[in-house]
Amino acid sequence: MNRFFYVILMMIPIVGWTQSDSSSYSLEQAIAYAKIHNYDYINAQTDIEIAQEQVWESTAIGLPQIDGSISNENYLDIPVTLMPDFISPAVYGVNQQGFGLTPCFGLA
């Protein structure tokens, strides 16, 4: 019985050391702490961001799609063939630069 009493007596200070100091928070501080450390809140915020991106993707599908390209070719020399073309007539004053613009409108 003495042994049990001594064990209990020796555990009393341990119980006092294990208690942490309680700190008081204001309502705003408690909400801020919960927002940082609550996993459900963090997951809900992530789900909201994903839903907003999905709404934007759905909106983008309905918008007209515009695609365009511009190209430039500068011919320093007129392209010639090794064999002359006798069938088509001769063309003089060939444009030295070629510009291409290809607009493409799609409603996908």
The pLDDT assigned to 100 comes to: 59
Domain ranges of the chain: 24-61
Euclidean distance between CA atoms 70 and 98, whole angstroms: 11
Contacts for 19 with CB less than 8 Å, ≥ 6 apart: none
Assess contact for 65 and 107: CB atoms under 8 A: yes
pLDDT over 90, % of the chain? 24
The pLDDT assigned to 93 comes to: 58
Paired with 67 in beta bridges are 104
Tell me the pLDDT tens digit for each residue of 6-37: 777 666 665 555 556 677 889 999 999 988 99
* pLDDT grade for 43, boundaries at 50, 70 and 90: very high
The pLDDT assigned to 56 comes to: 93
Paired with 100 in beta bridges are 71
